[in-house]
A and B are shown apart, each in its own frame.
Chain A
Amino acid sequence: MLTRLRALMTKELLNILRDPKSRTVLIVPPIIQIFIFSFAMTMEAKNIHLGVLNLDAGRAGFELVQRFREAKTFTRILPLQGQAEIAPVLDEQQALAVLVVPVDFSRRLAAGSPTQVQLLLDGRKTNTAQIVGGYAQRILEGFLAEQAPGAASRMPAVLETRHWFNPNLEFMWYTVPSLICILSTVISLILTALSVAREREMGTFEQLLVSPLQPFEILLGKALPALFLALCSASLLLAIAIFVFRIPFQGSLTLLYGAMVVFLLAIVGIGLFISSLCMTQQQAILGAFVFMPPAVILSGFATPIENMPAWLQTVTGVNPLRWFLIIVRGVFLKDMPPGDVMTNILPMVVIALVTLTAAGWLFKRRMG
């Protein structure tokens, strides 16, 4: 049986690696994508264009605007001449926000009577708009502190915030480990989702079926090489994260690899399940797309799982990517202890068992 398995695995590896196009698809896109996406996935607001309508002729108004001008967030300030210009500037997205300083700003400020400045934001970009709103608030506070020293001092209590695991809140520390998970999911799917359907269309599957190979041997013969290649690819991404992006790796490599094997097995199981369910490659690619975007969305990769409705949070439990993301982020930055890692591995073990068994059952049924 070992002989047969070895023959199967060699065949599978050669079949994937001999074709230069297929080799390229495995190696080049993940590398390009980790570089591009790591820089792209940021929740900060930078290079923002700000419209300013300063109706105040006094000094205070000018100084407030000057503060916005100096802020790093805003790379371009569009001076506006009148109320009528606000809507078009926002409509056409020439500016993300417009700051309106009222006519009597300086006078009221000097008189100590309360006044307000308005910040009009583009609600189409909900997230960025909110972040910019926060920045603006801070700029205003700085301005006030300077205008009236002492006024803002001596609060009864202040909050001293520290960020553990990522003291400067570097976005890359967060995105790069996550991208390792996402990109290795894509690779595992590429390796498995089409493999059986393709052999079916080529007629080689029949050739396998008339040999003394058992269904589970064929399944293993497909799963192990895919697992091996996906592990290689994930290791490459891991190395890029540690040595090129210099993301501090705090935890245990052994734990991470243990979790990775289980995770990749779960994805390989899903891929093979799709593959053995489908008769043609067209159907298999559809199957892969029925799985991949939902898996990414429901993983907490782009937006936190905590934000989802409770019932959907429950649904995410069947998504291996969700558990693996927790482990990777945890082991990378937090030195997550073995107990916590195991808690997150366990669901993946169950998923892997279910998907691999289901794929095996389908194999067997299709052979009968």
Chain B
Amino acid sequence: MLTIESITKYFAGAPQPALDAITAEIRPGHITGLVGPDGAGKTTLLRLMAGLLIPSEGRLTYDGLDTAGDTQPLHAVMGYMPQRFGLYEDLSVIENLRLYADLRRITGTQRQRTFERLLAFTGLAPFQKRLARQLSGGMKQKLGLACALIKKPRLLLLDEPSVGVDPISRRELWRMVGEMLDGETTIVWSTAYLDEAEQCERVLLLSEGRLLYSGPPQRLTRRVDGRVYQLLGIPAAQRRRLLTEILERPEIRDGVVQGKALRFVMDADAKPPDPAAFGNGPETRIVPVPPRFEDAFIDLLGGGPGGDSLLARRTFERPASERPIVEARGLTKRFGAFTAVSDNSFAIRRGEIFGLLGPNGAGKSTTFKMMCGLLKPTAGEGFVAGLHLARAAAKARARLGYMAQKFSLYGDLTVQQNLLFFSGAYGLQGRAQQEAVAAMVDVFDLKSFLGTSAGTLPLGFKQRLALACAVVHQPDVLFLDEPTSGVDPITRREFWNHINGLVEKGVTILVTTHFMDEAEYCDRIGLIYRGRKIAEGSPDRLKAAARTPEQPDPTLEDAFIALIEQSDAREAAAA
């Protein structure tokens, strides 16, 4: 039993406590989910549990061990996986395992058995000799988890283990952790994925250092019973505009795109709108649907961010055009004998969102880097706004905005200095530059952080700043490489408001994501697997392709997994 007794934690220099009088109990034999927006204090709470920080006030005990004082005995029974798990990248899979086995004194036959079990478990057995550096993001996380599990811990603390991990690997991680449960083990799983939280027996919901909810997720979900609806039968081209319209209604708490449909949550006691009001004839219907944990989560935190995008309003309208503005023709990239991307072609029209989906290591990022001119293709060509990426590199780059997967702004510079730099790097100067920067500050609500070093911003604001720096020069094409990785659901909605708004103005988006609910926003998706594009089409078409008698109504995640399994099966048959 992990007991949290009115824990408060202050950090030097911060006026507000990171955690404010948290009291809770975490029971053995369960997975407890730790959820909340960015900066809620999830990582701080986990570090306090792990004895890596000392509470300013209050006490944290695990089976009578004070986490502040009894660190040695605590660490002997604890497994902990930090957010950026520190694998030794220049050590191989098996060497990483051996290190943690030795640190935890796993010897003899038990050691061999543990290795075999974990390697089988993670599917890493064929890659034992591979250096951790060369593993895909998903494999790294699995190895990290395996290292934390090496000595069956009685207390397992996981800080967002599934960030940046593809849906298949996420399911595997979940399964691995699930198998640890034996009635005695206590597991705390911090996550930004609310579908994971929904599967936990209990959740702790933190916001701004306070505990807002503690209990089974289903109990929280019940608060939005009867308030969740879907708007069906609307033309695909109007989804984004209608979503904005709906979200602007005061009685709507939250709304998202789900393929061709829109899903929304009403205020308590409010009646759903009249479908006729959307002006698309009798096809348009509104049906109640069962609530999800995410609906209740957003509701508890005061609802979504509305549907308006200041960014879009400040963006000039680009004339419509049917010519593809981004085009890849037979892009291929080989690193030595390894083919990372093989013959990848796609074309994106103006004002379209094109999603690149695929498991970690499938070649999405490599494709991305070739499309923005960071990598030279081994074969094939890329065009942006009709400009050849190899021949008119600088011109082409002036037309695009890029947001990298990893935070890559100047951490030692302030928010304002970063904005000034990136606007200057794209040639803005004088009044135009001042106005562009002021607009970004306004749009992304960065005013109170202007003098803060970018490296010390909370994650959500880092991502906002990164997006601001990518769009400050009003690019025609926006490349977003996992822009919302690890970001909380509310900030993600804000991001998508902006993206939707920009697209309505004719900006073209190429995006990668591991959030399947975000993939629903895409007009078209290219599914990449093992360097090749194995499917392309709208989210609904992909779902249709994965429909089977056993699974008559697959989610996009189901479709994702099914299509990859089909590809594996074809390959096995061919071999």
Contact = CB atoms under 8 A, between A and B. Distances in A.
A211 B410 contact: no
Nearest to A203: B408
Q: What range describes how many residues of A lie at the interface? A: 20 to 34
B424 A204 contact: no
Main secondary structure of the interface of A (DSSP, over half): helix
A210 B410 contact: no
A14 B413 contact: yes
A206 B427 contact: no
B424 A8 contact: yes
B394 A10 contact: no
Contact of B453 (A4, A6, A10, A18): A18
Nearest to A210: B402
A240 B90 CA distance: 47
Interface string A98-124: 000000000000000000000000000
Contacts of A18: 412-414, 417, 453
Interface in A174-216: 202-204, 206-214
B373 A204 contact: no
B136 interface: no
Contacts of A7: 420-425
A210 B400 contact: yes
Interface centre among B421, B428, B453, B469 (most CB of A within 10 A): B421
22 contacts: A3-B424, A4-B426, A7-B421, A7-B424, A7-B425, A10-B424, A11-B417, A14-B417, A202-B410, A202-B411, A207-B404, A207-B409, A210-B372, A210-B374, A211-B426, A212-B394, A212-B395, A212-B397, A212-B398, A212-B426, A212-B427, A213-B394
B424 A4 contact: yes
Given A18-B412, A206-B374, A212-B397, 9 more contacts: A3-B428, A4-B424, A10-B424, A11-B410, A11-B424, A203-B408, A208-B425, A211-B422, A214-B394
B406 A207 contact: no
Contacts of B425: 4, 7-8, 208, 211-213
A8 B373 CA distance: 20
Interface centre among A11, A203, A211 (most CB of B within 10 A): A211
A19 interface: yes
A206 B404 contact: yes
A368 interface: yes
Contacts of A207: 402, 404, 408-409, 422, 469
B530 interface: no
B407 interface: yes
B376 interface: yes
B16 interface: no
A214 B428 CA distance: 16
Contacts of A147: none
Contacts of B72: none
B434 interface: no
B429 interface: yes
B406 A203 contact: yes
A207 B410 CA distance: 10
Given A14-B413, A18-B453, A210-B400, A3 B427 contact: yes
A11 B402 CA distance: 19
Contacts of B469: 207
B456 to A, nearest CB: 12
Nearest to B421: A11
Contacts of A8: 421, 424-425
Contact of B410 (A4, A15, A206, A212): A15
Given A11-B410, A203-B407, A210 B373 contact: yes
Contacts of B413: 11, 14-15, 18
B485 to A, nearest CB: 13
Contacts of A209: 373-374
Interface in B339-375: 369, 372-374
Contacts of B394: 212-214
A214 B373 CA distance: 13
B553 to A, nearest CB: 40
A11 B409 CA distance: 11
Contacts of A214: 394
Contacts of A10: 417, 420-421, 424
Nearest to B406: A203
Interface string B23-64: 000000000000000000000000000000000000000000
Interface string B470-504: 00000000010000000000000000000000000
B511 to A, nearest CB: 15
Q: Which 10 A-B pairs have the closest CB atoms?
A: A7-B424, A203-B408, A212-B398, A11-B421, A3-B429, A210-B402, A211-B425, A212-B394, A210-B372, A212-B397
A334 B374 CA distance: 53
A213 to B, nearest CB: 6
B408 A4 contact: no
A325 B533 CA distance: 62
A253 B373 CA distance: 47
Interface in A1-27: 3-4, 6-8, 10-11, 14-15, 18-19
Contacts of B372: 210
B408 A202 contact: yes
A364 to B, nearest CB: 11
B240 to A, nearest CB: 26
A365 to B, nearest CB: 11
A4 B411 CA distance: 20
A210 B397 contact: yes
Interface centre among B374, B423, B453, B479 (most CB of A within 10 A): B374
B422 to A, nearest CB: 7
A356 B390 CA distance: 25
Nearest to B373: A210
Contacts of B453: 18
B376 A368 contact: yes
A15 B410 CA distance: 8
A7 B418 CA distance: 10
A142 to B, nearest CB: 64
